[in-house]
Structure 1
């Protein structure tokens, strides 16, 4: 009889956990299927059977990153202050990137030549983007912001990505106070720039 294959959901989860740990500890350049297999106590063929190839494994890390970020964003219930809630969304995003810089690189950049996210892959980010859009929509409904919510949300998310990347690289100042101050300045500039009565941000 042929030997039974042990490619179980439990093994898949173990390989993914090992991959996430290795990526966080050793970075993109040291990431190999062989090291992941060793960390998970399995073989490279088993990793490939579970995920297809290295690109498939990176793709699953990409998806897992967005699942984790979404769970973080879901932890806070909305309050009666939509502007404060929108600022909190940005702050949660900031904290996630600072705690998971290499994972964030996989999610928002293209560090692996083997994996270039396509349109279908990028849909996994829609739920996270939805928190920004939903937050802006609440601000518009409350008269705190104006303009197209989707446009404003894209601008705010791009700002958060850029600021987080700068902070991760050490470019936002030499102290926590200076980094916090610059985040506050940037967030207020964007949100208040969409306030009713301000210059039309859409041009």
Structure 2
């Protein structure tokens, strides 16, 4: 009698959730097929059957991280002031990094040799980019920003990623008041820069 395949959506979801839990508790070094299988109440062969290999498991965690981040950004309440909305997006992005430092490392720093995202994989962040573009376009349409909305959104996103990574690594400072101030200064300076025409040379 042939063995029943263990590949199920339920095991996939349980495996991803288990991987996220392992990362949160034990960091990058703790993520193995065995540790995920143990937490998911599954066998190592079953985990490999669902994800293919460790790289496949990390890839699914990578995608899940961007889904979680996009959901958090989508939940941001829009303000009548487009700059306030963009400030709230930056704060939500920062909160995600602080709450999920190891997951954010996988998403943006790529610490695993087992997983090197392809161009196709990088589409995981499309929803996040689209959210920034949407609200930047509102600011441009309102005359608050001057420039190409897609350009401004990509630069804004790059800045908040940089600030978040610097804070996560401890290089932005340690005192909360100083960290909060540096985020405010950075975001405000960027917004002021985009309020004036920028020469495209």
TM-score (norm 1): 0.94
Asked if 2 retains the 8 angstrom alpha-carbon contact of 1:193 and 1:201, the reply is: no
5 Å-filtered alignment, 1:60-139, equals 60-139=60-139
5 Å-filtered alignment, 1:115-194, equals 115-194=115-194
TM-score (norm 2): 0.95
Provide the alpha-carbon RMSD of the alignment. Answer: 1.3
Q: 1:104 Cα shift?
A: 0.5
Listed as ranges, the gaps of 5+ residues in structure 1 are none
Q: 1:87 Cα shift?
A: 1.0
Asked if 2 retains the 8 angstrom alpha-carbon contact of 1:18 and 1:36, the reply is: yes
User: How many angstroms apart in 1 are the aligned matches of 2:117 and 2:51?
Assistant: 15
CA-to-partner distance for each residue in 1:128-176, whole Å, 9 max, x for gaps?
A: 0111111111111111111111111111111111111111112222311
User: Which residue matches 2:2?
Assistant: 2
Matched, 1:52 2:52: yes
User: How many angstroms apart in 2 are the aligned matches of 1:65 and 1:139?
Assistant: 28
Asked if 1 retains the 8 angstrom alpha-carbon contact of 2:15 and 2:37, the reply is: yes
Asked if 2 retains the 8 angstrom alpha-carbon contact of 1:16 and 1:61, the reply is: yes
User: How many angstroms apart in 1 are the aligned matches of 2:30 and 2:39?
Assistant: 13
User: Which residue matches 1:15?
Assistant: 15
Helix, strand or coil: the match of 1:119? coil
Helix, strand or coil: the match of 2:4? coil
Aligned residues: 201
User: How many angstroms apart in 2 are the aligned matches of 1:68 and 1:55?
Assistant: 20
Asked if 2 retains the 8 angstrom alpha-carbon contact of 1:147 and 1:194, the reply is: yes
Asked if 1 retains the 8 angstrom alpha-carbon contact of 2:76 and 2:92, the reply is: no
Q: 1:201 Cα shift?
A: 5.8
Listed as ranges, the gaps of 5+ residues in structure 2 are none
User: How many angstroms apart in 2 are the aligned matches of 1:12 and 1:53?
Assistant: 13
Q: 1:24 Cα shift?
A: 1.3
User: How many angstroms apart in 2 are the aligned matches of 1:156 and 1:176?
Assistant: 22
- Give the 3 Å change call, closer, same or farther, for CA 21–196 of structure 1 in structure 2: same
